[in-house]
Amino acid sequence: MKNKHQKNNPTQSVTLIESFIYWLKLGFISFGGPAGQISMMHQELVEKRRWISNKRFLHALNYTMVLPGPEAQQLATYIGWLMHGVRGGIMAGVLFVLPSLFILIALTWVYLAYGNVPEIEGILYGIKPAVTAIVLFAAYRIGSKALPNPVLKLIAILAFVAIFALKIPFPYIVIAAALIGILGSRFAPEYFQTSNHHGDENINFGPAVIDDETPAPEHASFKWRRMFTFLVIGLLLWLTGMGVLTVMYGWEGTLTKMSLFFTKAALVTFGGAYAVLPYVYQGGVEQFTWLTGSQMIDGLALGETTPGPLIMVVSFVGFVGAWTKEVFGPEMLPLAGAIGAIVAAFFTFLPSFIFILVGGPAVEATRDNLKFTAPLTAITAAVVGVILNLAVFFALHVLWPESQDFNLSGRFEWFALLIGTAAFIALIRLKLGIMTVIIISALLGLIYQFLS
């Protein structure tokens, strides 16, 4: 029997300080990428603490899955907002990423300052092929759910060819896929139907603070004035940040370019953290030369081994880019790197908060609307092809480290191939966790470094 008192007072039994402690703790222990973090939140908030019902949790998750950007961080923001309003949403979203930001800043400084130490080189030698296997596994895992029919499989193949062979920028691929989805919803809707891959929403774990039938709190009710207020505040924060950087460093300044680039990354990367990587590679490595392809792989390795959302790899890119470009001069490289990391994180995550605070109250209006979901289904299919391209790119860099322009010249790293193959088998067959695979691969690389 559900508690009527809970229905009418959905946040009464959970104080803001209780929420603060939980979200801070989650920020330090949220390993395992988006899937692991979502599972962790479900186990704690739905099954154990009963702060939110399973159906309401999955309803929020479905919304965040169709948004660009990091779905796990957006889910935390949504639940925090639902329970305690704007301050709860901001608190949950910030605490989810803040520990990983500081940890990644420290690790990136160590990487740049001491990366040539033999022990570090050995560890990275082992981790790089493991990261390649992880990205390939991500393409397989997402594709197995997102490509249930030949039409969506064809979209994925075309996206791979477009970005790998034709070098078409990622945003154009997203736009093309969205247009295909719009047409598909009208002429072949059966190929663009979506289904819930995140669990059965009818599973009931008992009464919850925010239960299936709990009315939405006042702050979650849709009001045009409130929506425009949050939208304007969000835009003002973005314009203020852009304005300060432009005044201080000019429109062509590295930090100014980063602010615009990572804003674009946050807005076009549908499909989760792995979808942002090809776009960041194209911009960070090829367009702005903030870092090298090999450093991009190292950054993903650090991102996989730290808590928080995997999209925090953008902070690694920001740190390395500001360090490389010496934005504060050669004597202040660590400070430049830290500021670059913070700039990257701020402009990457700001849109996520706007999406939740502006769109949260209107979620019900579009949940089952095929005209809304079909373009996102097509985009997700295209993302599978883009992620596969990233795996190929990483593999070429790892196996032929001396190769230029992918001509497969220079020495071939046979031991890296063995590590990568073993890592992929461990992930797909043995079901080992990502952290376990990375640790074992790092040890193998370290051993190989001292034996060779």
pLDDT digits (tens, 9 = 90+) for 133-143: 887 887 887 78
CB atoms within 10 A of CB 397: 18
Give the range among 101-115, 194-208, 306-320 with minimum mean pLDDT.
Answer: 194-208
**Which residue carries 């997700």 as its tokens?**
380
Q: Which positions ≥6 away from 216 have C-beta within 8 Å?
A: 82, 361
Structure tokens at 414: 């046979």
| 259-286 pLDDT tens trace | 999 999 888 776 666 677 778 888 998 8
Q: What does the pLDDT read at residue 280?
A: 87
pLDDT tens figures, 323-375 = 999 999 999 999 999 999 999 999 999 999 999 999 888 764 454 555 666 78
pLDDT at 307 over 50: yes
Average pLDDT over residues 150-169: 90
Q: Give the dihedral of Cα atoms 136, 142, 146, 149; nearest 10 deg.
A: 40
In the predicted model, is pLDDT for residue 29 greater than 80? no
Amino acid 63: pLDDT: 76
Q: Per the domain annotation, does 1 fall within a domain? A: no
Q: What is the SS3 assignment for 210?
A: strand
pLDDT digits (tens, 9 = 90+) for 91-119: 999 999 999 999 999 989 988 988 777 78
Within a domain: 21: no
Give the number of other Cβ atoms within 10 Å of residue 375's Cβ.
24
Specify the 3-state DSSP secondary structure of 418: helix
Rounded distance between C-alpha atoms, residue 376 and residue 155, angstroms: 12
Match 């923001």 to its residue by tokens.
77
**pLDDT at position 9, please?**
44
Assigned domain for 4 exists: no
Looking at residue 7, its pLDDT comes to: 41
- The pLDDT confidence band at residue 235, using thresholds 50, 70 and 90, is very high
SS3 letters for 341-365? HHHHHHHHHHHHHHHHHHHHHHHHH
What pLDDT is attached to residue 11?
42
pLDDT recorded at residue 1: 39
Q: Is residue 237 part of a domain?
A: yes
Residue 6 has pLDDT above 70, yes or no: no
| Position with higher pLDDT, 246 vs 3 | 246
pTM of the model: 0.74
Q: Is 31 helix (H, G, I), strand (E, B) or coil?
A: coil
Specify the number of domains making up the chain.
1
Residue 42 lies in a domain: no
Examine residue 144 and state whether it is found in any structural domain, yes or no. Answer: yes
Question: Angle of helix 414-428 relative to helix 434-451, nearest 10 degrees?
Answer: 160
Q: Which domain holds residue 126?
A: 107-198+224-451
Give 380-415 pLDDT, tens digit per residue: 788 788 778 878 877 888 888 777 666 677 788 999
Structure tokens at 5: 């008192």
Q: What is the pLDDT of residues 49-100, one digit of tens each?
A: 899 888 788 778 767 876 788 888 999 999 999 999 999 999 999 999 999 9
Could you tell me if residue 129 is inside a domain? yes
